[in-house]
């Protein structure tokens, strides 16, 4: 059964770089790795997606090693507004495509 | 372009009452999902649909029913509400997940309290 594992929580200070790592158990060959961000009282929103190596957008970078068993979301120079829960859901492709979210990583950025 | 719209946003029910949550998307997405989120926890998949007229069970389907009569709408029903169903419910939609993982677009959530 596809499943991901990530730390429950992390603390950081404004201006620091934050790296959140996710383990991808049983990731399928065709699966991409996607990260979401969720603020209180809102639905999760897409941050970044990748398949292999490194992907960068205006918000974050995503590092994926060659074996694709893990991924690291990197947030450069975080601010207070980056305080949120970050998810790296698993894709379960048996019996239809469905996205399985775990508890996510609660990032708290301090001033 | 509204994206994913959920109604109602708040509802209080008494144990045993029934209700329906409506999710509507205007992005012509094939896939739609219902998740629930309890305090301090992640999202758990209740039911999902890979196309009009089809539905399937997720991780926690008991006590819920769904219907996808129109492509743009996905309804979540509670036939006999229980306090354990007090939660925030999120609807999401996506393109078919073949090849690249389809990005999920979420609604703003519906907060349900069962007394």
3-state helix, strand, coil in chain B (%, to 5): 5, 50, 45
Looking at the complex, does the CB of residue B74 fall below 8 Å from at least one CB of chain A?
Answer: no
Strand-pair partners of A1: none
Burial A36-64 (b: 16+ CB within 10 A, else e): bbbeeeebbebbbbbeeeebeeeebbbbb
A65 contacts: CB under 8 Å, gap ≥ 6? none
Across the interface, of A32, A91, A103, the residue whose CB is closest to B41 is A103
pLDDT of residue A30: 80
Identify the DSSP state of B109: -
pLDDT of residue A91: 80
Hey, of B42, B47, B53, B105, which one would you mutate to test binding to chain A, going by the most A CBs within 10 A of its CB? B42
**Residue A93: is its pLDDT beyond 80?**
no
Hey, of A91, A101, A104, A106, which one would you mutate to test binding to chain B, going by the most B CBs within 10 A of its CB? A101
Is A99 in contact with B33 (CB distance < 8 Å)?
Answer: yes
Residue of A nearest to B105 (CA): A45
Looking at the complex, does the CB of residue B114 fall below 8 Å from at least one CB of chain A?
Answer: no
pLDDT of residue B42: 85
Q: Which residues in chain B are closer than 8 Å to A3, comparing Cβ atoms? A: none
Judged by CB atoms closer than 8 Å, whether chains meet at A32 and B100 is answered as yes
Q: Which residues in chain A are closer than 8 Å to B10, comparing Cβ atoms? A: none
How far is Cα A96 from Cα B45, in angstroms, rounded to an integer?
13
Mean pLDDT by 10 residues, chain B (115 residues): 91 97 94 91 90 92 96 96 97 74 87 97
Report A:26-85 residues touching B (Cβ under 8 A): 30-34, 36, 41-46, 49, 51, 85
Judged by CB atoms closer than 8 Å, whether chains meet at A98 and B101 is answered as no
Q: Which residues in chain A are closer than 8 Å to B97, comparing Cβ atoms? A: 91, 93, 97, 99
pLDDT of residue B69: 95
pLDDT of residue A102: 85
pLDDT of residue B99: 47
pLDDT digits (tens, 9 = 90+) for A63-87: 999 999 999 999 999 999 999 999 9
**Residue A13: is its pLDDT beyond 80?**
yes
pLDDT of residue A90: 87
pLDDT digits (tens, 9 = 90+) for A16-64: 999 999 999 788 888 889 999 999 889 999 999 999 889 999 999 999 9
How far is Cα B23 from Cα B94, in angstroms, rounded to an integer?
13
Judged by CB atoms closer than 8 Å, whether chains meet at B48 and A96 is answered as yes
């Amino acid at each position: 059964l596809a499943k991901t594992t990530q730390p429950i929580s992390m603390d950081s200070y404004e201006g620091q770089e934050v790296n959140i790592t996710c383990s991808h158990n049983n990731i399928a060959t065709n699966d991409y790795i996607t990260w979401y961000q969720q603020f209180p009282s809102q639905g999760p929103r897409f941050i970044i997606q990748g398949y292999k190596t490194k992907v960068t957008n205006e918000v974050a970078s995503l590092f994926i090693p060659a074996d694709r068993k893990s991924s690291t979301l990197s947030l450069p120079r975080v601010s207070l507004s980056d305080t949120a829960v970050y998810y790296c859901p698993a894709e379960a492709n048996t019996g239809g495509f469905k996205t399985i979210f775990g508890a996510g990583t609660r990032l708290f950025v301090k001033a | 372009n509204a994206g994913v719209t959920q109604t109602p946003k708040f509802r209080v029910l008494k144990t045993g009452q029934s209700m329906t949550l409506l999710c509507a998307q205007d992005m012509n997405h094939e896939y739609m999902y219902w998740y629930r989120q309890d305090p301090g926890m992640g999202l758990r998949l209740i039911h999902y649909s890979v196309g009009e007229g089809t539905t399937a069970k997720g991780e926690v389907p008991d006590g819920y029913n769904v219907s996808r009569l129109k492509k743009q709408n996905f309804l979540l029903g509670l036939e006999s509400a229980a306090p354990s169903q007090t939660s925030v419910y999120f609807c999401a939609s996506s393109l078919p997940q073949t090849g690249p993982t389809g990005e999920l677009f979420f609604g703003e959530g519906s907060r349900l309290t069962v007394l």
